Structure 1
Amino acid sequence: MFVGIDIGTSVVKAAAFDRDGRILAVERARAPLVAEGDRVEQDFEEVFAAVARVARAVCGGRAPALAGITAQGDGAWPVDAAGRPVRRGISWMDGRAAGIVAEWIADGTAEAVYRATGNTVFPGCAAPLLAWLDRNEPAVLDAAATAAYVKDVAFQRLTGVRATDVSDASVPFLDPRGRDYSPAVLEACGLGRRAGLFAPVHDPLPGAEAVAGGVLPAGTPVAAGPTDVTAAAIGGGVAEPGDGLLNIGTSLVCDVVTDVLDLSGEPSGFHFATAEPGRWLRVMAAMVGTAGLDWVLETTGTSHGELDAILDGTAPGAGGVAVLPFFAPSGERSPFVEPSARAEFTGVSLRTTRAELVRAVCEGTAYAARHLLEAAGLRGSVTVCGGGTGSAAWLRMFADVLGRPVRVAAGPETGARGAVLAAADRHGIELDTTAWTRPSATVDPDPGRAAFHERGYADHLDRVARARDRWAARARPYSTRSALES
C-alpha cells in the first residue's frame, strides 16, 4: 500500500493505492480558512489534525510501504524549531501584501526578481508576505526558526527533518540554474537578514523515515513534495516538453513542461524546478478557478447538481453575456500581475437569466484557461484534472474552447498520485508510471462549437487588453493638472 497526502487550500486529502496505482481508499477532511477582509489565514494545528485523520483512515491500521506529501504552495507558515506555529499560517489567497507588490512593481523589484528566477511575485507568495511580517510583525519572524511552506511543516512533524524541495523553493527565491536560494533575490526583497529562516533545499526531494509515536508507523519512508502543481503534472502523466496540464480547482492552474528557460518578455507566471535538472514546469496559475463558479452558483441560488443541465440547456455565448473571471480580492497573478484586477460582466440586461450568468462564468473561465495555457507555451497534448472535471458538460466546453482533445487524468486524487510516484522515485521503489498515469477518458471538441468559441476567445483577449488599460490608469497617481487639462 502506497499513501499520498495532499494538503489542499481548504480540504486535506489522503489516498491509498496498490502497486498498480489502483485506488484502495480515499479520505478527506476540512481545514477551515479564517477570512477577514483581504486576510486569509489557517491554523496549522487544525491542518495537521486533518492530515492525521485522513492518513490514519486510509491506512486502516496497516503500515504503508511509502508515503508522499504534496500541498498548496506559497503563503507563509512561520514555525519554531519543533515545527510548531508561532502564528497562524497566511494563505496564498491572502491580499494584505498587495501594497508591497505594487511598490515592487513600481520600483522594478518585481521585474528584477522575475529576470533572476523566472517567477513573478503576487500578494499571496512568500516574498511579499514575509516582507509584510518583517514590517508589521517582526517579533513573529524573530520567534520563528523557519518561514516554511505548509507541506514542509507537515513533513517536519512526521519525520523531524527541516527541509524543502526545489519546486516550493522556486517561488520566488530559487536560482533556477543553481537550484538553491538566490542571495541577490533575498536582498532585493528586503529579506537578506532573514535568510536563516529558509529551510535547506533538498534536491530533488526531502526524504526520511517517520518518527515513532507519530501519524504514520515508525520507519515508514516519507518524501515531501513536490508542490501540488508539480505533483498533479506527475500524477497526470504530463512529462514531455510542450505537453500541458489544466487543473480546474479552486485556483485555475495551467502548466506546460519545458526545457527552455526564457526569462524575456512581460514578467508573468512561474518556472517550477522539477526533479530533472534543465527541465521546468512553466506555470500560469490564476487566482480563481472553481471558486468563481461557486460564487455565481451561490449568488444565483443554483446548486452544483444543476450545472450540467444548465450548460446543456443554454447556447454558446450565454445570450450575449461575457465575463472576465478575475474574482479574487487580491487581483490576478497570471498571465499578468495586476493587484487591481476585478471580474467584469458585460451584456447583462433585465432579460438575462440565471442560467446565462452561470454559463457566462463557465465560458469566461474556459477562455482564461486557454489564455493561460497559450502563455505557458502549450504545443502538445492537454491533460485535465481537478474538481471541475466532475462536470461532463463543462469538460466538453473546455475541449471546445481549447479546440483540441483533453485527456482526463487518472483519478481520483491526481496530486496524491503524483506525490506517491515522486516519493517512490526518491526512495528507489520501482512503480509502473505508465499504469499509474493512464488517462481515464478523452473528450473531443465539437467542430461547430469550437469555431464559435474561436471567435469568443478573440473577443475575450480584446476585453482583457482593454481592462488592463483601465486598471493601469486607475493605479496611476492622481494628477490635478492632468485632470484639469482633460
Structure 2
Amino acid sequence: MAKLLIGVDAGGTMVKVAAFDAAGREIGCEHQPNPMSFPEPGWTERDPDRLWAIAAQAIRTMLDRTGINPADVAAVTASGYGAGAFLLGGDGRPARPALGSTDSRALPLIAEWQRTGVAEELSLAVSQGVWPGQTSVLLAWFQQHEPEVLARTAHVMNCKDYLTWKLSGEISTDLTDAGCAGLMDLERGTYASDALRAAGLGAWLPKLSPIGPAGEVVGHLTAEAARLTGLRRGTPVARGVYDVVGCSLASGMTRSDQLGIVAGTFSINSTLHPAPCLDPIPTLQCPYPGAPGHYLSTIATPTSASNLEWLCRTMLAAEADRAQAAGRSIYEVCSELVAAGEGRESDAMFLPYLFGGPEGAPGALFGLTAGSNLGDVLRAVFEGIVFAHRADIDTLLGGRDSAHPRTALLAGGPSKSDVWSQMFCDAVGLPLTVAEGSEFGAKGAAICGAVAAGMADDIPAAVAAMTRPCRAYHPKAERTPRLERQYGRYLRMSRELSAAWMPASEATPSCFAGAQA
C-alpha cells in the first residue's frame, strides 16, 4: 500500500519539495531557486513554464536522492504563495508572465479606489484589506493597462493551482487561495460576485477557477507530468492550500488561543476566529481547514527574514562562501555571533524595510559606534525583524474582534535558530513552540494529501497525526526592559524616518494595511 506523501511548496524565492511518511516525518527534501524578474520598478514577475520545470526537476531529484519508489507515493500536493496572478490562455499557454504577491504596480489604482470608495466597499465584501499584490487588484490593473490580457485569459489561477493543473490537467482552487486572492465572500464560501462586479471586475468572473475542498483528490498525475517528475502516472493529486495556511497546519495551529508566526519573505502573523475578523481588518483572511468553522486572520508585511537573506547575499557574501566551504550555513554563523554578543551593551537598530516600509519608511541601520562589531549589527537585524513582527501582532491583537492568544507557534527560517526563537518569545511575551520539521509549506500540502489519500479522516486529524512540538521557549523577564525600550525606539524611528523620507503630500498608499501604525 502506498504510504508516502509528497508536498511541493513554491514560495517567493525557492521551490521546496519534501516527502513525508504517515506520521509526518520528513524522508527527504530538495530546494531549487524560484527566479523572479523585475521588468519595471515595483513589478515582480516570473515565467510559469520555468516554475513548472523547476518544480518537476526538484521532484525527480528528490526521488533520485532518497531512492523512494514512486509506487509508494500515495499523493502529491502543491502549495505556493498566495495572491499574485497566474493567467492561462485558452490554448493552455500562459497569457502573460505570472505576478508575485510582492508586485506593487497597482498602487496608483488603489489610490483611485480609495478616493472613489471602491476600496472600502470591496474590503468589507471580502473581509480583508485591499493591497497591491492581491489578485482582485491585479485583475483590475490588467483591465485598465493590458486589456488584451483579459481577452486572452481563459482561467485565473494562483501559484499552487497552476502547479496542480500542470500535475493533473485539472483546473480548480480551494477556499484558502480564493480567500487570500480577495475574491471571496468568506461566510458564504463563494466568490463575491456582486462586489466584484461593482468594482468593475465582472468580465473576470467566468474565468475564475471552481472552488473545492483542500483535502480532496482533484485529479491524477498525467503521463507528461509523470515523465518529467519521475512519479507514477495516475498518482492522486490533492487540491491543497496556499503556503501561509500550509505553514499554519504544519505548525499544529488548530485553536483560537494560538498565535501563528511565520517568518519568511513576509512577516506573517495569524490568529483563528469563529467569524471573519473585521476590526482590525486583516491583510489576508480565509476559511481555515485545520479548525472547521473558523477563519485564519493574517497581518502580513514584507519585513521579515528576507532582510537577513539580503545582508548575507550582499555584504556578507565572502563570509557565506567561507561558511559553505566549511560545510556550514551562513545563518548558523550569524546566530552564533548574535548569541556570543547577547551580554554586550548595544543600541544598534535596524529597520527591516528593504522591500518596503510603512508609509514609505526606508530600510535603515543606525545607532552604531566605533566600538560596534558584526555581532552587534546582526543582533540589530535579528531584533529589527522581531520588532516588525511585534508591530504587526500589536495591530492584529488590538481590535474589537481580536483573538486572545495564550501561546505562540513559530515557523520559517528564524525558527531554526535558538537565539532568534527566544528573541521572538521574549518580544511577544508568550510561551512559544517550534514544531518538528523544516519544510512547513510542503508539510502543510502533505497534510492535505493525507486526507485525500484516505490516510486521515479529515485535516484536523491529519494535523494531530503529523505534527508535534520540537522545542519550547518561555519569556525571560530579565530581557523585557531592554526589549521594550528598543521596541519603543523602533516605532518612533519608523514614524520619524518615514516623515523625513517622504512628505505626506507625496506618499502613495501603503501595502501595510494598517500594520505598524
Name the TM-score, length of structure 1 as normaliser. Answer: 0.89
User: Match for residue 322 of structure 1?
Assistant: 349
- Mapped partners of 1:146, 1:212: distance in 2: 20
User: Match for residue 202 of structure 2?
Assistant: 192
Equivalences for residues 360-439 of structure 1 within 5 A: 360-377=380-397, 378-430=404-456, 433-439=463-469
Kindly indicate whether residue 504 of structure 2 is the aligned counterpart of residue 473 of structure 1.
yes
Contact 1:247 1:254 in 2 (8 A): yes
User: Match for residue 483 of structure 1?
Assistant: none
Equivalences for residues 89-238 of structure 1 within 5 A: 89-170=98-179, 171-204=181-214, 207-213=217-223, 214-215=225-226, 216-238=231-253
Of 121-130 and 314-323, more deviation after overlay is shown by: 314-323
Unaligned runs of 5+ in 2: 321-329, 398-403, 509-517
Structure 1's 58 and 299: CA in aligned 2 closer, same or farther, altered over 3 A? closer
**What is the SS of the residue equivalent to 2:125?**
helix
Structure 1's 299 and 416: CA in aligned 2 closer, same or farther, altered over 3 A? closer
- Mapped partners of 1:122, 1:297: distance in 2: 29
Structure 1's 317 and 264: CA in aligned 2 closer, same or farther, altered over 3 A? farther
Unaligned runs of 5+ in 1: 333-337, 478-486
- Mapped partners of 2:16, 2:391: distance in 1: 30
Of 2-11 and 81-90, more deviation after overlay is shown by: 81-90
Contact 2:215 2:451 in 1 (8 A): no
User: Match for residue 57 of structure 1?
Assistant: 61
Contact 1:296 1:357 in 2 (8 A): no
User: Match for residue 401 of structure 2?
Assistant: none
- Mapped partners of 1:179, 1:361: distance in 2: 41
User: Match for residue 284 of structure 2?
Assistant: 270
Kindly indicate whether residue 244 of structure 2 is the aligned counterpart of residue 241 of structure 1.
no
Equivalences for residues 251-270 of structure 1 within 5 A: 251-265=266-280, 267-270=281-284
Structure 1, residues 103-159: CA drift from partner, whole Å, max 9, x if none? 223333222222222211221121222222212221122111112101111111211
Kindly indicate whether residue 19 of structure 2 is the aligned counterpart of residue 16 of structure 1.
yes
- Mapped partners of 1:462, 1:141: distance in 2: 44
Structure 1's 316 and 362: CA in aligned 2 closer, same or farther, altered over 3 A? farther
Shift of 1:71: 0.8
Q: Give the length in aligned residue pairs.
A: 469
Contact 1:323 1:346 in 2 (8 A): yes
Structure 1, residues 67-113: CA drift from partner, whole Å, max 9, x if none? 22111111111112464312111111222122212222333322222
- Mapped partners of 2:175, 2:116: distance in 1: 28
Structure 1's 100 and 354: CA in aligned 2 closer, same or farther, altered over 3 A? farther
Structure 1, residues 233-282: CA drift from partner, whole Å, max 9, x if none? 111111001312211112221111221323135x4422122235531111
Shift of 1:385: 1.2
Structure 1's 127 and 225: CA in aligned 2 closer, same or farther, altered over 3 A? same
Structure 1, residues 329-349: CA drift from partner, whole Å, max 9, x if none? 4x55xxxxx5x3433444345
- Mapped partners of 2:449, 2:499: distance in 1: 45
Residue type of the partner of 2:51? V
**What is the SS of the residue equivalent to 2:38?**
strand
Q: CA RMSD in A?
A: 2.5
Residue type of the partner of 2:486? G
Shift of 1:39: 1.5
**What is the SS of the residue equivalent to 2:70?**
coil
Of 58-67 and 192-201, more deviation after overlay is shown by: 58-67
- Mapped partners of 1:246, 1:318: distance in 2: 28
User: Match for residue 325 of structure 2?
Assistant: none
Name the TM-score, length of structure 2 as normaliser. Answer: 0.84
**What is the SS of the residue equivalent to 2:437?**
coil
User: Match for residue 457 of structure 1?
Assistant: 487
Of 293-302 and 21-30, more deviation after overlay is shown by: 293-302
Contact 2:335 2:417 in 1 (8 A): yes
Q: Which has the higher contact order (CA 8 A, sep 6+)?
A: 2
Shift of 1:167: 0.6
Of 10-19 and 319-328, more deviation after overlay is shown by: 319-328
Residue type of the partner of 1:44? P
- Mapped partners of 1:316, 1:120: distance in 2: 41
Shift of 1:191: 1.3
Shift of 1:427: 4.6
Kindly indicate whether residue 469 of structure 2 is the aligned counterpart of residue 442 of structure 1.
no
Of 28-37 and 11-20, more deviation after overlay is shown by: 28-37
Structure 1's 299 and 19: CA in aligned 2 closer, same or farther, altered over 3 A? closer
